[in-house]
Amino acid sequence: MASTYGEDASKSALRSAYQAVETQLSPSHAERVDREVRIHLTAMAAYRAAPLVLAYVTYRNEMDTTQIIERAWEDGKRVAVPVCDRGRLVFYEIDTLEGMRAGSRGVLEPDPASCTPVDEADLANSICLVPGLVFDAEGYRIGYGAGYYDNFLADYPGLKIGLVRSMRISSNPLPHDDHDVPMDVLVSDGSVWVCARDDATA
């Protein structure tokens, strides 16, 4: 795992540092790395077994999830992506990436008027793909600072999968608070790393 910053580094400092790092990756390199992440993800038993994938739509220089979403449809899976509704994430099932609109933070979201929210009963058999600027070996992450995913994941019963390029995995523990929710599994271009929960299955 790439060595980066010490345990005492603040979240805001790490966030700024990794936002700068993510702009340095060339498009061709990013495409190769993201392809390896996609290969590792789709080879997982948990992915193959899940009828529902909670995904996210790429923001800024994040890993490209477009092909992951399209592959999930090809594999016969249902796909849902989030809308930020009054500070919380609500996942809506989609069957196309067309017609997305910019949400309050500039992230592309589906139109709730034209799609259906995911039933809570379906969440237990789903996997949730989670973005982040940097992750550590225990599955903790630093995102963009809004806290939407941690609020959602606090009660999420399915498998939490952090998608991450190897260059954004810290060999040092990241600062985290009681409300921060760790991932069960990290999927990178280099490996699948089981973390955080003993019953997480890759």
Is there a domain that residue 179 lies in? yes
Distance of CA 186 to the CA centre of its chain: 9
Is there a domain that residue 199 lies in? no
Residue 51's CATH number: 3.40.50.10420
Is there a domain that residue 162 lies in? yes
Domain that holds residue 84: 11-193
Is there a domain that residue 4 lies in? no
What pTM value is reported for the model? 0.86
Q: How many domains does the chain have?
A: 1
- Per-residue pLDDT tens over the stretch 48-82: 999 999 999 987 778 889 999 999 999 999 999 99
- Per-residue pLDDT tens over the stretch 9-22: 576 666 656 555 56
Is there a domain that residue 163 lies in? yes
- Conformational region of residue 145, where left means phi above 0, alpha means psi within -120 to 50, and beta covers everything else: left
User: Dihedral sign, CA of 18, 20, 25, 31?
Assistant: positive
Is there a domain that residue 59 lies in? yes
Is there a domain that residue 76 lies in? yes
Is there a domain that residue 200 lies in? no
The reported pLDDT for the residue numbered 87 is 77
